[in-house]
Structure 1
């Protein structure tokens, strides 16, 4: 983990972290993804079987998980974990129910009626990662907004282990969010199946959910054929801390981020020199006997950063430049200080709001913009699974009051038939 106290050097280090997945590796991955998507589009289930054998290590003739297995997974989930899942579901659903956009109806000055009507997409596909960990929270955070939006059918895909089995808690989460179809496929091939449809997997309208670089590049490639939520990069946390921050809190929150993935990034920007000096040894202490030691160690070593600043204003400016996915404010007045922040996927205020709260049951969605995209994007929400339609209903009076302006504008663009479509409705113009 690097420590810097020069603002210019800090900006360079933050830029390097933002761009950590670009370069030659991504160029190679793009070629692999292109081949997979083309093969799945052309050969459907046969291609999926080959990729499942190659990447996941099992042979199958049936990708779909039966509803009985999903129910069994729920029934065999320990009561305390069931209660935790239901609490998270309730909190996430309550928050997202407030996001449902309102239809707009506007009466113009000449009796015309204008509006915008929102409606859900018909079918949504959610991707739930496997591999290094199981993520029932991802099921909740993606399926619940789709349900609240009114999506008719939500389909889940997730890579199985080498025995062809999905994590039981992931299946339990799918059961309580009323997902009817779950398929044991992952990677770019799963995105291709959802985007194009195969013999067994329906084509969807929107694909959401995080994944590795192959999944992310596949989502980028199929955008336009289907909608997507975002292009998720490796996860990141940035903590702004002053003299009030507790050393053990900062260290544990940084490790909570680094244990996701070797590419995860944990950053501290602080005015507290003592905190900056003592943090590396505290992280080492908390890593003793850590069950994900290797992942944490690689993440912290390669992508951990400590920046020492003279004042909180500089901390805020550096944070806005980086535009973090997760921003923790461990300062004396976090609510007031948060008003100085413009770019962040989610802001966690004070010592009782660790980022883990947001990962599981805070209420707002944990699918957030990464790699600096919080400058222009926000969290996954109900709107991700909806589209809007403009409504235009002109009266004859409104037409007559605006017709000449439309003709002039059409003529300025050289569009003859646009102007003619107005003239033909009014004999007085001939």
Structure 2
């Protein structure tokens, strides 16, 4: 039976903070969940850019071409492109838009764009009319293409309704997360493991919370280079019959006479002959000289069969009963790192940057626990009457005071949300003008059925 409680803490400066704790279930009860895609989720993504992201830094953005193609619309362009053979219709259209923009056939004109090519202009006009493509403009004189993925929806709309659901992984959200032509927006990344099977590989050498078959939990750094990857019957291993390339070590693969296999999650999204492939921010590339067919394929990962659960998102804040007082996993720092990797706009001030938080951990007897730290509204902050949000250090302190063995930070900010029977007991930080909650669409969550 799930046990949940809300703990309220008050500070000397009159600020307050609420935490919701959920426990009383087993690791076997937890599953990863991709919420159903909805038109409303796409519209909310557009609204976030229009209402919050662009107005905050208008000089950062030019014309943003945001779109999502429903499955019943056929893309009238070839899958064989300059960046390889593509399988995602969102990427095929994005590739054509990018190609024509670079050729000078698409230009920004005040608050819209002008497309010279008749066929592309007619298709884009149709998508705008049907509500599948939106053009938003900042002040910069450039054009950016923002394809939105199919894995983007509202967690509260999961059917059948789970007893409990929370958001989990970081996902490509900011325009600076889109540093490769193979990236789409609303794609989660980082290890997602259930009963030895992976739907997402580990990336960026960050810490993961792992639970073995005996129920013992661990926190350790893990990399996709440790795994085997099986595609269409061929098993690839880094340093043997192939080389694995990922950020932040590399941005572009080396030139080769072989083939680059571009992978995001558990799918091959592109094949590119000759190398010099820009590595996706949310995935990795296998370079091989093996003779492989260029067909759409799922990926099977091997090497973690001894674990029943694994998740990799943010940094550990409690590890082996010790409070962690600084970031212990790598995060992109624009002033230091030459190669970007997401989340590219993550606040790095461990001690002071307050935000809503979501975290998963293990109790002193290795049972799972979820913690939601509420945050204030993005529109206004009513001191003393709503939560201030927590820094990672404050989250670490709270987890340590609860006597936890491990606690790992998940995606937070406006994404932080916990639902009991599809209803939230606290407030999310994304709000409408009347201060009512605005659930943020996410591509991945954790659900519990008991």
Same fold (TM over 0.5): no
Between Structure 1 and Structure 2, the one with more helix by share is 1
Shorter-chain TM-score range: under 0.3
What is the TM-score with the length of structure 2 in the denominator? Answer: 0.24
What is the TM-score with the length of structure 1 in the denominator? Answer: 0.25
